[in-house]
Amino acid sequence: MARKGNKYQKDDKLKLGGIHIYEDSHGRAVYYDVFTKCGYVLDDREQAYRPYAMRFVIGIFAAVLTYMFELPLWMCLGLGVVAYGVMEVKFRKFLKTVPQMIDFKPKKRIGLVESAADDTKNRILLKVLLYFALAVLIILNAYQQKFTGFMLGLNYLISVFGVVFGIIQIMAFVKKGKEA
């Protein structure tokens, strides 16, 4: 791939990380499906995989956004489940397009910190600031909107996730500094 704007060249080895992402003996990122016990090589399809990796979060955001329109809670949760379901079906179709490794045995897991450390230092610092800003602003918005009960709890949960991901980015920045 040629470099254009935000596109990556093959030499810029974009790494994925997460719960079910492993590295095979050739250094390629492999998604391991625990249900089918099959590995899927994501080497050239890492950018296409990223939205599917966040399918659960997309479902939560769909539920939260629909709740803001003052729909009944059961309908919001139902729409969140439907959004997740649609993303899961699309993800399963995507997996059919990538090479499979039938006898893949997961060994070396690629963690979120290792994946995040592949970015530039400036980009990592920007992510730290944005995650912490999200954590603070989501709480301020909850109090400004006078949320109570479920929505207030959900905003706190989102804020905690913002802090956790900010800490992951800080750890990636430290790891990047030790490598340099």
Q: Do 61 and 77 have their domain in common?
A: yes
Packing angle between helix 149-179 and helix 121-144, nearest 10 degrees?
A: 170
Section 139-165 average pLDDT? 89
Query: Does residue 2 sit within a domain?
Result: no
Q: Do 81 and 60 have their domain in common?
A: yes
pLDDT band, residue 3 (cuts 50/70/90): very low
Q: What is the pLDDT of residue 73?
A: 85
Q: Which domain holds residue 168?
A: 109-179
CA distances from 65 to 62, 90, 151, 165 (A): 5, 21, 11, 21
- The residue among 72, 107, 142 that closes a domain is 107
Q: Do 159 and 174 have their domain in common?
A: yes
Section 138-153 average pLDDT? 88
Q: Tell me the per-residue pLDDT of 17-52, one tens digit each, with 9 for 90 and over.
A: 777 888 888 888 889 988 888 999 988 888 888 889
Section 146-170 average pLDDT? 90
pLDDT band, residue 10 (cuts 50/70/90): very low
Q: Tell me the per-residue pLDDT of 62-107, one tens digit each, with 9 for 90 and over.
A: 888 887 788 888 998 999 999 999 999 999 999 999 999 888 888 8
Helix or strand (DSSP H, E) at 32 = strand 29-33
pTM: 0.67
The structural domain count of the chain equals: 2
Q: Do 95 and 79 have their domain in common?
A: yes
* Residues 70, 17: Cα–Cα separation, whole Å: 36
